[in-house]
């Protein structure tokens, strides 16, 4: 870590059993069963957790971009994240779509905010160049 870096938060979880196990955060706020995508077993799956985290972070990044641009965001900003688990030639990979709703915001302004958010959101940075991501304004 460089002298300019400052840790703001560290999320800590303990997971057992993989996709058919459980995950719990060290503070107990997250305590969930895990299940394979498409199964009828109780619990969520890593793709849903990733989609929820990314969409929440992305809304925060939109807010940051809006503040810098002096644009008032509507209260009902929403991101519907879709994370696909794919298989090709025996290898697994992800693909994602972020469907962003900014009601009442001019389409050009909305596109600028979303593009700026995609540059600053840590999840977007982590996935850039690693998975195919499409960002749609809906």
Which residues are CB-neighbours of 44 under 8 A, at least 6 positions away? 32, 33, 34, 35
The conformation of residue 72, written as its DSSP 8-state character, comes to P
Average pLDDT over residues 19-24: 96
Q: Has residue 1 got a pLDDT over 80? A: no
pLDDT attached to residue 113: 98
What is the spatial distance between Cα 58 and Cα 64, in angstroms, rounded to a whole number? Answer: 10
pTM greater than the 0.85 cutoff? yes
With H, G, I as helix, E, B as strand and everything else as coil, classify residue 133.
strand
pLDDT of 79-136, one tens digit each?
Answer: 999 999 999 999 999 999 999 999 999 999 999 999 999 999 999 999 999 999 999 9
Give CA angle at 105 (100, 111), nearest 5°: 55
The pLDDT tens digits of the residues spanning 28-79 come to 999 999 999 988 999 999 999 999 999 999 999 999 999 999 999 999 999 9
Number of residues that this document lists for the chain: 138
Q: Mark out the alpha helices in the chain (DSSP H runs).
A: 46-69, 107-120, 122-127
How far is 22 from 42, CA to CA, in rounded Å? 11
């Amino acid at each position: 870590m460089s002298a300019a870096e400052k840790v703001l938060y560290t999320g800590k979880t303990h997971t057992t059993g993989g996709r058919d196990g459980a995950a719990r955060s060290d503070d107990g706020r997250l305590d969930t069963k895990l299940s394979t995508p498409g199964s009828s077993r109780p619990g969520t799956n890593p793709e849903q957790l990733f989609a929820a985290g990314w969409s929440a972070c992305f809304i925060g990044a939109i807010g940051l971009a809006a503040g810098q641009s002096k644009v008032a965001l509507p209260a009902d900003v929403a991101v519907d994240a879709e994370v696909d688990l794919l298989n090709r030639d025996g290898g697994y990979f992800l693909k994602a779509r972020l469907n962003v709703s900014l009601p009442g915001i001019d389409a050009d302004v909305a596109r600028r905010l979303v593009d700026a958010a995609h540059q600053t959101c840590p999840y977007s940075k982590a996935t850039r160049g690693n998975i195919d991501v499409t960002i749609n304004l809906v």
